[in-house]
Amino acid sequence: MKRLFPTALLIISTALLASAQISMSDSAKSTMTKRLPYQLFGRVRVIDGRTLEFLKDETVVRIAGYEASELGQVAQTDDFDWPVGQVARAWMILRTLRQDVNCAPLQFDANGIVLAHCFVGDTNLAASAISEGIGYAFNYPDEPGVPAYFDLERRARGLGFGVWSATGLAPPWQYRQSISVEPRNQRKTVDDPIGSLPLPPPADGGGMQRRTERSPT
């Protein structure tokens, strides 16, 4: 076996060290891209009624504990057709237009999208939308839910606000199944992991209750 001269050893050692540094760098970058942000703040672009994209770093966020109709959905109220999915998106645009949005990330969802509670000032976007009948209180398995959202939904439903004024409107998770889009998991609720959130006034005399199923609309 031939002996390697010191110069050859130095060249090989340098090459191995450089290779290791590159591998460590790639691994570190990969870890960083998957790391959950501590906080997201700034202007956003509204993708749909429950999804935002921060303009500065292009981070996509889905609002936790909340669902909105698909963009293509149409509702009928008093024999009048209206684009319920587009209305949900327009509502979110109006609430965030030229406003800084503050999101508290909770986790990544099954698609790698950041799941977060989002606010404009002191306004909880999900809670406000639910209380006005723009969308639904909803969380998928293994995602945090907010029990108080279901009280807000119950009040909006009782008053016939928004989606609750429509006849035969399928909630978005059922609508996706009907158009052969990959169905999402069934509804369930769990404790809110970060405690109380700013909410609109609760329904009169209503205490928090949990639901595990939604009755057909």
Residues 61-98 pLDDT 10s? 999 999 999 999 999 999 999 999 999 999 999 999 99
How far apart CA 85 and CA 134 sit, in angstroms, is: 9
* Structural domain total, the chain: 1
Range of the domain at 112: 31-178
Give the rounded percent of residues in the chain with a pLDDT score beyond 70: 67
- Per-residue pLDDT, 179: 81
Residue 189 predicted with pLDDT over 80: no
**Which stretch, 159-168, 172-181, 185-194, 208-217, has highest mean pLDDT?**
159-168
Q: What is the CA radius of gyration of the chain?
A: 23
- Mean pLDDT over each residue of the chain, to the nearest integer: 78
Q: So what's the pLDDT on residue 199?
A: 52
3-class SS at 141? coil
H/E segment holding residue 101: strand 101-108
Q: Is 156 a domain residue?
A: yes
pLDDT tens per residue, range 94-137? 999 999 999 999 999 999 999 999 999 999 999 999 999 999 99
Is 185 a member of any domain?
no
Whether 213 is covered by a domain: the verdict is no
What's residue 33's pLDDT? 55
For residue range 146-162, list pLDDT tens digits in order. Answer: 999 999 999 999 999 99
CATH number at residue 61: 2.40.50.90
**CB–CB of 84/169 below 8 Å?**
yes
- Token reading at 149: 């959202």
Q: What is the band of 202 on the pLDDT scale with cuts at 50, 70, 90?
A: very low
pTM of the model: 0.70
Q: Establish if 203 belongs to a structural domain.
A: no
Residue 57 has pLDDT above 50, yes or no: yes
Between the alpha carbon of residue 59 and those of residues 43, 66, 94, the distances in Å are 11, 19, 20
- 171 vs 205, higher pLDDT: 171
Q: Is 150 a domain residue?
A: yes
